[in-house]
């Protein structure tokens, strides 16, 4: 059985067709596995973290319950407007720490159109940070 809440390195929703989580194995914390659901099944694969300095995997982790489903719904609803991309659509939502020493992860939503693409960033509470 896993940890509750689990320790994640990354959470991703891609094109509303797959959901992926990179999670630390609670029984062997130096191991990270990716769990990807594609609408019909979950595929598990190991994640290569061998290039990281000791401690970086734990430092990069965040608790699985830091972002609520209501926050995900909210940022997905406002990301196109917040991006300023005309006729934009959301392609990917990711939750992760961009740098291991950040105190908390950021939610990043990629919004694109044939003419433009922007990354919209939010706090775990859903507050707008920036568009890049």
Q: What is the pLDDT of residue 82?
A: 98
- Band (15; pLDDT cuts 50, 70, 90): confident
Q: What is the pTM assigned to this prediction?
A: 0.89
- Fill in the DSSP letter of residue 46: E
Average pLDDT over residues 25-46: 93
What residues pair up with 99 in beta bridges, in sequence order? Answer: none
d(CA 107, CA 131): 12
Task: Please report, for the chain, the start and end positions of each structural domain, with discontinuous segments joined by +.
Answer: 7-131
Average pLDDT over residues 53-81: 93
**Is the confidence at residue 123, as pLDDT, over 90?**
yes
Q: What is the pLDDT of residue 3?
A: 64
Average pLDDT over residues 98-125: 96
d(CA 99, CA 57): 11
């Amino acid at each position: 059985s896993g940890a509750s809440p689990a320790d994640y390195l990354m959470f991703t929703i891609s094109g509303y067709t797959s959901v992926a989580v990179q999670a630390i194995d609670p029984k062997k914390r130096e191991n990270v596995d990716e769990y990807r659901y594609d609408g019909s099944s979950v595929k598990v694969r190991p994640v290569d973290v061998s290039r990281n300095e000791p401690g970086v995997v734990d430092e990069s982790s965040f608790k699985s319950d830091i972002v609520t489903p209501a926050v995900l719904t909210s940022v997905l609803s406002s990301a196109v407007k917040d991006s300023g991309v005309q006729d934009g659509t959301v392609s990917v939502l990711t939750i992760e720490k961009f740098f291991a020493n950040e105190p908390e992860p950021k939610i990043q939503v990629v919004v694109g159109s044939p003419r433009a693409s922007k990354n919209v960033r939010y706090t775990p509470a859903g507050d707008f940070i920036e568009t890049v």
